[in-house]
Amino acid sequence: MKVYNTLSRKKEEFTPLEEGKVKMYVCGPTVYNFIHIGNARPMIVFDTVRRYMEYKGYEVNYVSNFTDVDDKIIKKAVEEGVSSQEISSRYIEECKKDMAGMNVKPATLHPLATQEIDGMLEMISALIEKGFAYPVENGTVYFRTRKFEEYGKLSHKNLDDLQAGHRDIKVTGEDKEDSLDFVLWKPKKEGEPYWESPWCQGRPGWHIECSVMAKKYLGEEIDIHAGGEDLIFPHHENEIAQSEACNGKIFSKYWLHNGFLNIDNRKMSKSLGNFFTVREISEKYDLQVLRFFMLSAHYRSPLNFSAELMEAAKNGLERIVNAADNLRHLLKNAKRAFMSEEETEIWKGSDAFVEKFEAAMDDDFNTADAIASVFELVKYSNTRVNEENSGELLERLFKRLEQLCDILGIVLEKKEQILDEEIERLITERQAARKDKNFARADEIREILLNKGIILEDTREGVKWKRA
């Protein structure tokens, strides 16, 4: 299996630090709102990498954090007049719902930054002791970027070039020894959450959080660190500097980064009005379609999101689901149990598609080519089987299709159509639950209906519903 390592800028044979085991850390979202489709790409991509690793027999320890203390979270909390914890807790739960909708497996562990403060204080203290960090008068602690001689090895940026020209990359602060030094700990502002530290009442910088969580739950050396390519610099570069300066070991052996997501060939931004949350997409499409769309291009390639491409993904996914449905139907009515010699040859012929699938995934997780091999298997099944075939052949072909789709996180179940009377009954039950302040049940009913393709809208005139 070959993976493209951002560190070396080339494909390398994957060899884990410990035979049969993979330690993998993926930077998770900052939870201040519903996740957007840009957040969804690394979630889907690296969930698929994990699934393939598990298919190959590896035991994967997959850690993906939630950043639950941040300027954006604090701003949202102030706007709503609630605590930062209330905002982060709310959107962690919403994020988990969206992840479930996209069939993203829960991580082995989802650590929260705010629960790892002690570890951050320890790492910062160790960096100060080793001369890699320094506190200033107001209690801010900075990392001495130039003292870490390999700084820039991931992003392939030169410190002197950064110093000379890239003002957007510098972090302001007149009290720093060097304009490129970055924050490890910062003093609180009025009304902000804070923690006690040897330097001041304050909170951690963003970069130190991931270094500490990766070390605590995976160890000082890990196999794979992954995330969006926007994190290469400065976030991942700074993680390397902190971790390797503190631990004296190579932090991560392989660095994987997914490409950007554009909307109608333009960068996604709120100002352009082309900013979409996963929840908004779920009102128009089953989130399986979004997942299928995300995997239709190689993860390192830029990906363009558009209504036309989503429709194409929807149609492609339907072809696969319909083929599975046809095999199920034939299997239910099969007249014979066991394969004939001719059917044995048909079964052996399907091996080629598994080989193609594995070859694609072994080549830096090329899901686009893997999906192409699934389509070939679908065509092969559609043209080779009918109601005369044995249950054994039909079941084997179905299981094979199901296994390949499971690696991609694609579910081969058609969502059952819900009747209008059932919708009305559930809405009435939800109204009663809300009246009784049983909000958990009310949310559960909304989720049940959403999973069946029914979107609820609470209006002044009452609850309205529509099919997705």
- What residue type is assigned to position 88 of the chain? S
Indicate if 438 and 378 belong to the same structural domain: no
Q: Is there a single domain that holds both residue 85 and residue 46?
A: yes
Q: pLDDT, tens digit, for every residue of 49-99?
A: 999 999 999 999 999 999 999 999 999 999 999 999 999 999 999 999 999
pLDDT at 460: 75
CATH at 203:
3.40.50.620
Say how many residues make up the chain. Answer: 468
Same-domain check for residues 162 and 226: yes
pLDDT the model gives residue 465: 82
Residue 100 shares a structural domain with residue 246: yes
Residue 265, in any domain of the structure: no
Averaged pLDDT, 329-336: 90
Same domain, 127 and 175: yes
Q: Clarify whether residues 179 and 53 are in a common domain.
A: yes
Per the structure, the count of domains in the chain is: 3
3-state helix, strand, coil in the chain (%, to 5): 50, 15, 35
Tokens 């700084």 label which residue?
A: 151
**Residue 413 located in a structural domain:** no
CA dist 177 and 202 (Å) reads 21
3-class secondary-structure state, position 342: helix
User: Cα–Cα distance between 141 and 334 in angstroms, integer?
Assistant: 71
Residue 412 maps to a domain: no
Q: Is residue 182 part of a domain?
A: yes
Token pair 């690296």 is found at 46
Asked whether residue 356 is domain-assigned, the answer is: yes
Q: Which residue range forms the structural domain that includes residue 456?
A: 420-467
Diameter over CA atoms, the chain: 83
Q: Do 451 and 353 belong to one domain?
A: no
Q: Answer yes or no: are the C-beta atoms of 105 and 163 closer than 8 Å.
A: no
**Alpha carbon distance 414, 222 (integer Å):** 39
Distances (CA, A) of 41 to 98, 279, 291: 12, 14, 8
* CA–CA distance, 29 with 26 (Å, rounded to integer): 10
Is the pLDDT at 170 greater than 60? The verdict is no
Pair 424, 376 in one domain: no
Where a domain ends, among 200, 227, 258?
258
Q: Does 299 map to a domain? A: no
pTM of the model as a whole: 0.87
Tell which residue, 39, 4, 37, 34, has the closest CA to residue 304: 37
Does the structure show a pLDDT above 50 at 207? yes
Domain boundary among 407, 437, 455: 407
Asked whether residue 229 falls in the same domain as residue 345, the answer is no
Cis amide linkage into residue 302, ω under 30° from 0: no
Q: Tokens standing for 35? A: 């996740």
Within a domain: 264: no
Same domain for 234 and 360? no
Return all residues near 376 (Cβ < 8 A) that are at least 6 apart: 353, 356
Residue 327 sits in the same domain as residue 449:
no
- The closest of 97, 75, 93, 95 to 84, measured between CA atoms, is 75
Of the residues 360, 382, 407, the one at which a domain ends: 407
Q: Are residues 35 and 59 part of one domain? A: yes
100-151 tens-digit pLDDT: 999 999 999 999 999 999 999 999 999 999 999 999 999 999 999 999 999 9
Q: Is the confidence at residue 416, as pLDDT, over 60?
A: no
